[in-house]
Structure 1
Amino acid sequence: MNSNKKQIGLIVILAVIIVVIAAGIVLFLTRDKKTETNTDLSAEIETQSQANLNQIDYNGKKYEYNANLMNILFLGIDKAEDIDTSYMPGEAGQADCIMLLSLDKETKEARIWQISRNTMTQVDLYDVNGDVYNAMNTQLATQYAYCIGGSRSCWATEKTVRNLLYDLPIDGYFSLSVDGISLINDAIGGVTVPMTEADEAMDPSFKAGTEVLLKGEKAEAYVRSRDLNTFDSNSDRMRRQVNYVTAMITQMRSHGGKALYDIVSPFLDKYIVTDLDAEQIDALSSYTYLTDDVTYLPGEVTMGETHEEFHVDEAKLQEMLIENFYQEVTK
């Protein structure tokens, strides 16, 4: 009887050992197969990514990015202190003006894409070291604030705008703080802009139908002011920002040659943060800006729980991006 029990026990032990060995073999083979699959998948993704660097598929057709274009992100930062400084996340100021300057190196023409600060999109949240730890859907303007300021906030905003525009290439950024507006404005002798009835309603000295030379605080007020008690007042401010920026560039061009970098260089770091070099900054004033062909992102302004929200019409946006930045591949 005891002998039978020992035999049964031995059989059970051997069975367990066989099962463990079999499970180990299966696990090894599965892991090896999984690794092989992941390697193949990674290679496939890498191949697709390389192929898609210049080409995209849209509505059954292939399009290629127009390599003659250079896109520069222009940011106006609502921060009175030095902007090339590290701040705690949430304290770096917001990007109240967001424009994409699309420069055609072949035609020497430039188009402006005006992007509402209130555009609702996925915004990354950064810690004190400048590392992403979370994300939330909120106004685009806050992306600058939710990083740590300076070049890091510019980079974070550029990344978010690029994602908003379906990975559209952005070649650099140029950010300007509030305090820098009047100083640069006066350094070029002021900026002349045509006034509308809406401008006169904002400031009686901005007589409708006239052209006014803006200097000092008037220049800052022109590009910053809006009536917080009026729904969608930001849209009118965006119009003024476009008028001012294009007029400012025209005024800079009147200085001739490579004056632009000479003008802005004294304000670099304190009021201006950019990753453009001197030659690229000078080039900004060598283009003809098509002020009658300004593009605004398609969408609708609504009132959110606490703030106005601009919701992009994604289908129309994709169509506009294809039309303006890509060329159909016919072969």
Structure 2
Amino acid sequence: MKTFLRVFGISFICFVLLFSSIIWAFNTFMKDNHPNAHVPVIRDVDDSNFEDIDEPELKKLVRKNNRINMVVLGLDETRSDTIIFVSFDPKSKSADMISVPRDTYYPRAGFNGAAKKKINSAYGDHGATGVKAVISDLFFGIPVDYYVTLDYKGVASIVDSIGGVPVYIPQLMKYDDPWDKPPLHIHFEKGNHVLKGNDAVKFLRYRQPNAGSGAMDRMGDVGRIKAQQEFVQAAIKKALTLGNLPSLATNAVRFVRTDVELQEVTRLASSVVGIDTSNIKMHTLPGGASYQGGASYFFHDATETKDLLIKIYSGETETE
């Protein structure tokens, strides 16, 4: 018996050490390794275009709520081509997603170029942790607990892992960019499609056709966001029908960088089990596009953004 206990004890200790090492490795190497991750974000508070609102009602709702907030970033090299804020309420099993246009105006002290005042440039200068700070500031200080980043290859792999995503394309989509690396060729005929891999990425990237092609024009980033939201909803519905979210989450983490620790991954996935797609609400950051200094920006509406966040934290939102 003593020998058994000794062997069992040694084996158990080795298992604990091994498992701890796996957790440590995951929590270390799965994080965004951006070289500027510790460069602080300081907003240009003297910029008159950026409106601050002190909102005690929202702060009160945040304090008494246990929502889990994260920002999902679709990366195109050093820029965040897609930015989605996700707020999940584990108690009601409901989620709200706010798509933030990549041209959203966000002036930062010390970054004075026209392109640097767009929110999608923040990732290149501050990494994913910096984007968390930017989104929190844009949303009046509400906490952003986690980030999740993935590139085009990751999107393609995750879509393939659920067997593709069904979409209806109402009009010819055609765009060619021979100077992209690699060259980009998008061509989808009108009708029903099940998009997999790189085709899904092309659908999500599409904004406008080549001149004279007569193909669909999504009228800029806001139109592209609407298509992305419809695609995400279809992908979520498809994933839920597979009935194995923890397994899908484990597969998905291979393609992402995140500060969600390993212990949290399967717990979060398990808490989503049973969610109804009708409880997943899609929104776009309120505001509108206009020019300033020769550059096109999306200027958010601070009052409407505040009202939307209050509705989210009160559980009173509806799909747009």
**TM-score category of the 2 structures, normalised to the smaller one:** 0.5 to 0.7
**2:208 corresponds to 1:223:** no
Partner in structure 2 of residue 67 of structure 1:
65
Match among 226, 231, 234 for residue 247 of structure 1 = 234
- In structure 2, distance between residues paired with 1:233 and 1:212: 23
Give runs of aligned pairs for residues 171-186 of structure 1, distance below 5 A: 171-186=145-160
What TM-score, normalized to structure 2?
0.65
Aligned alpha-carbon RMSD (Å): 3.0
**2:123 corresponds to 1:144:** yes
Match among 167, 187, 205 for residue 188 of structure 2 = 205
The amino acid of 2:118's aligned partner reads Q
Partner in structure 2 of residue 294 of structure 1:
282
Task: Tell me how far 1:285 sits from its aligned partner.
Answer: 5.2
Question: What is the SS of the residue equivalent to 2:188?
Answer: coil
Between 1:317-326 and 1:102-111, the stretch displaced more is 317-326
Question: What is the SS of the residue equivalent to 1:155?
Answer: helix
Task: Tell me how far 1:290 sits from its aligned partner.
Answer: 4.3
Q: Write the deviation string for residues 124-147 of structure 1: whole angstroms up to 9, x where unpaired.
A: 6xxxxxxxxx45571100000123
Task: Tell me how far 1:292 sits from its aligned partner.
Answer: 7.9
Partner in structure 2 of residue 273 of structure 1:
257
**2:272 corresponds to 1:282:** no
Pick closer, same or farther for the CA change 1:103–1:292 going to 2, 3 Å: closer
What TM-score, normalized to structure 1?
0.63
Q: Write the deviation string for residues 220-253 of structure 1: whole angstroms up to 9, x where unpaired.
A: 1011122288795111111122122222222222
Pick closer, same or farther for the CA change 1:206–1:170 going to 2, 3 Å: farther
Identity among equivalent pairs (%): 22
- In structure 2, distance between residues paired with 1:262 and 1:56: 38
Tell me how many residue pairs correspond in the alignment: 237
Question: What is the SS of the residue equivalent to 1:254?
Answer: helix
Pick closer, same or farther for the CA change 1:319–1:98 going to 2, 3 Å: same
Partner in structure 2 of residue 43 of structure 1:
none
- In structure 2, distance between residues paired with 1:281 and 1:206: 38
Give runs of aligned pairs for residues 45-64 of structure 1, distance below 5 A: 57-58=56-57, 63-64=60-61
Partner in structure 2 of residue 170 of structure 1:
144
Structure 2 unmatched runs, 5+: 1-53, 176-185, 212-216, 316-320
Q: Write the deviation string for residues 206-226 of structure 1: whole angstroms up to 9, x where unpaired.
A: 42xx43100122111011122
The amino acid of 2:193's aligned partner reads V
Question: What is the SS of the residue equivalent to 1:74?
Answer: strand
Task: Tell me how far 1:313 sits from its aligned partner.
Answer: 1.3
Task: Tell me how far 1:176 sits from its aligned partner.
Answer: 0.9
- In structure 2, distance between residues paired with 1:69 and 1:172: 12
Partner in structure 2 of residue 120 of structure 1:
105
Question: What is the SS of the residue equivalent to 2:70?
Answer: strand
Pick closer, same or farther for the CA change 1:190–1:62 going to 2, 3 Å: closer
Give runs of aligned pairs for residues 55-134 of structure 1, distance below 5 A: 57-58=56-57, 63-65=60-62, 66-79=64-77, 93-123=78-108, 134=110
Question: What is the SS of the residue equivalent to 1:98?
Answer: strand
Question: What is the SS of the residue equivalent to 1:122?
Answer: coil
The amino acid of 1:120's aligned partner reads Y
- In structure 2, distance between residues paired with 1:77 and 1:280: 26
Structure 1 unmatched runs, 5+: 1-54, 80-92, 125-133, 148-152
The amino acid of 2:299's aligned partner reads H
Task: Tell me how far 1:307 sits from its aligned partner.
Answer: 3.7
Pick closer, same or farther for the CA change 1:192–1:144 going to 2, 3 Å: same
Task: Tell me how far 1:116 sits from its aligned partner.
Answer: 0.8
The amino acid of 1:301's aligned partner reads A
Pick closer, same or farther for the CA change 1:68–1:292 going to 2, 3 Å: closer
Give runs of aligned pairs for residues 22-61 of structure 1, distance below 5 A: 57-58=56-57
